């Protein structure tokens, strides 16, 4: 892929981006989704536009996962966030917040980002989990700012699993719904499609692969077996490539994620080699 081609696919809309993920619910896919999302933003040079990242947003305990397994998930999600951010760099301005264990902090942090929004600097919220935190933050923020908030969603399972807010109630705040197709179609794939990251010489890619592999070996659900799933990261790719303003890629595949990450690794490795010499 040429430099020209690569530069053309990075065409984000105006504004900042926030991500609300779960990961403490039965489905562990947010482990791979988070690592890929952060790596994509760094690779695109857009890490400074990420103003909020929270995880474990399933606030009410589920009887589909034991207390011990959920506690483990909280730790794994925090490790995924912090470990990916440290290895890839560029996220020093951000604190990764555990929603369930730090609910007030998460609400205040997202509400602050909403309150800073304007027509020239809107806030794009990626709904990678239940909608409750988004609703709570909207309720705690200025109503006049809600028209500058856009929520990207891709799966009804996220929209309709809130304990405090249904999707229709989120829309009643006056935000803009940005809905794209189910990202599981091309981003929940057989493990072998990620061998390129597993076997790469750069440990940043090894780490990304490992986070998805941990989800595959999770023993709470069976539907991740043999699969490497970063489906929620499809919403990040969509935003990086333009969202609904600049005709972003609505159905990215693994090869597109691979190209973006490998191009960054190649360029950053060249910089390191030049410095060493």
pLDDT digits (tens, 9 = 90+) for 37-46: 999 999 999 9
pLDDT attached to residue 270 = 62
pLDDT attached to residue 157 = 82
Residue holding tokens 């103003």?
51
pTM, 2 dp: 0.95
| Ranges assigned E (strand) in 34-175 | 50-55, 96-98, 123-128, 149-153
What are 81-92's pLDDT values in tens digits? 999 999 999 999
pLDDT attached to residue 221 = 93
What are 206-215's pLDDT values in tens digits? 999 999 999 9
Pick the closest to residue 150 from 114, 125, 120 (CA basis). 125
In percent, how much of the chain has pLDDT > 90?
90
What are 52-70's pLDDT values in tens digits? 999 999 999 789 999 999 9
* Distances 40 to 2, 36, 43, 151, 205 between C-alpha atoms, Å: 18, 6, 5, 19, 11
What's the average model confidence in pLDDT over 239-268?
97
What are 121-170's pLDDT values in tens digits? 999 999 999 999 999 999 999 999 999 999 999 988 888 889 999 999 99
Dihedral Cα 268, 272, 275, 277, nearest 10 deg: -130
Q: Is the distance from CB of 48 to CB of 82 less than 8 angstroms?
A: no
Q: Residue 183 pLDDT more than 80? A: yes
pLDDT attached to residue 269 = 80
Cα-Cα end-to-end distance for the chain: 27
Residue 272's pLDDT band (cuts 50, 70, 90): low
Q: Residue 277 pLDDT more than 50? A: no
Spatial distance between the Cα atoms of 28 and 34, rounded to a whole number of angstroms? 11
Dihedral Cα 43, 45, 48, 52, nearest 10 deg: -40
Which string of DSSP letters, residue by residue, matches 26-74? S--THHHHHHHHHHHHHHTT-GGGEEEEEE----S--TTS-HHHHHHHH
Q: Is the distance from CB of 211 to CB of 259 less than 8 angstroms?
A: no
Q: Give CATH for domain 14-272.
A: 3.90.245
pLDDT attached to residue 61 = 79
For helices 30-43 and 254-276, give the axis angle rounded to 10 degrees.
50
Q: What are the extents of the domains in the chain? A: 14-272
- Residue 59 token pair: 């606030």
Q: Residue 273 pLDDT more than 90? A: no
pLDDT attached to residue 158 = 82
pLDDT attached to residue 121 = 98
């Amino acid at each position: 892929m040429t430099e020209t081609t690569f530069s053309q696919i990075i065409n984000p809309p105006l504004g900042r981006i926030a991500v609300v993920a779960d990961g403490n619910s039965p489905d562990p896919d947010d482990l791979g989704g988070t690592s890929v999302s952060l790596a994509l933003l760094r690779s695109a040079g857009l890490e400074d536009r990420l103003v909020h990242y929270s995880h474990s947003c399933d606030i009410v305990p589920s009887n589909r996962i034991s207390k011990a397994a959920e506690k483990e998930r909280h730790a794994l999600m925090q490790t995924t966030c912090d470990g990916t951010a440290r290895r890839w760099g560029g996220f020093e301005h951000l604190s990764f917040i555990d929603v369930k264990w730090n609910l007030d902090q998460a609400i205040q942090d997202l509400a602050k980002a909403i309150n800073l929004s304007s027509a020239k600097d809107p806030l794009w919220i990626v709904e990678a989990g239940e909608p409750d935190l988004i609703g709570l933050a909207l309720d705690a923020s200025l109503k006049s700012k809600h028209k500058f908030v856009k929520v990207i969603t891709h799966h009804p399972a996220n929209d309709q699993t809130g304990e405090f807010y249904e999707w229709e109630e989120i829309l009643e705040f006056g935000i803009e719904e940005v809905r794209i197709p189910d990202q599981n179609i091309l981003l929940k794939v057989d493990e072998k499609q990620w061998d390129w990251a597993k076997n790469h010489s750069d440990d940043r890619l090894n780490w990304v692969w490992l986070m998805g592999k941990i989800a595959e070996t999770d023993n709470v659900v069976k539907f991740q077996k043999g699969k490497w799933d970063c489906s929620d990261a499809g919403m990040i790719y969509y935003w990086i490539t333009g969202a609904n303003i600049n005709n972003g890629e609505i159905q990215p595949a693994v090869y597109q994620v691979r190209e973006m990450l490998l191009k960054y690794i190649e360029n950053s490795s060249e910089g390191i080699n030049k410095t060493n010499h």
